[in-house]
Copies of this chain bind each other. A is one copy, B any other.
């Protein structure tokens, strides 16, 4: 897809003065690599805010936040990029809701978008809670094992003292 040099394929919808970040900046700020950001774009997970005529990607702060969000879903919840894509579809709903708000869309439509986003958010929170519960359970097991080991330790220490001076 060649573009007339100098033009932007995606002009800012609403002409606001958000800073345009180049790929290297986003990469540094998120401790990722440019390759990763391009890969995420390749699989449809992250879309830069704009492409300059030269092909250069430009991101907005919203995308940078999305990046950190993706990382959290990856590291903390262990989701695959495909699953994350699924989860983020809801986030996109929220984004559409924001656009609708700025475009003064009819209230019923905005309410529907909000409801969708809310439901998706609820599902995500449920997922997190479930995982938290499981990890807590696992933690309790580990702590309990530690307790048993400490008890045994005390027993052995008592044995030792009794053997030392009967």
Q: Which residues of B contact A131 (CB under 8 A)?
A: 76, 135
A42 at the interface (CB under 8 A from B): no
**Residue contact B118 to A128, C-beta cutoff 8 Å:** no
Give the secondary structure class of A's interface. Answer: helix
Q: Which residues of B contact A139 (CB under 8 A)?
A: 125, 128-129, 132
**Residue contact A146 to B122, C-beta cutoff 8 Å:** yes
Copies of this chain present: 2
A138 at the interface (CB under 8 A from B): yes
A110 at the interface (CB under 8 A from B): yes
Can you list 16 contacts pairing A with B, beta carbon distance less than 8 Å? A72-B138, A76-B134, A76-B138, A77-B135, A78-B78, A107-B156, A111-B156, A111-B160, A114-B149, A128-B135, A128-B138, A128-B142, A131-B135, A132-B132, A132-B135, A135-B135
A residues near B (Cβ < 8 Å) are 72, 75-78, 94, 107-108, 110-111, 114-115, 117-118, 121-122, 124-125, 128-129, 131-132, 134-136, 138-139, 142-143, 145-146, 149-150, 152-153, 156-157, 159-160, 163
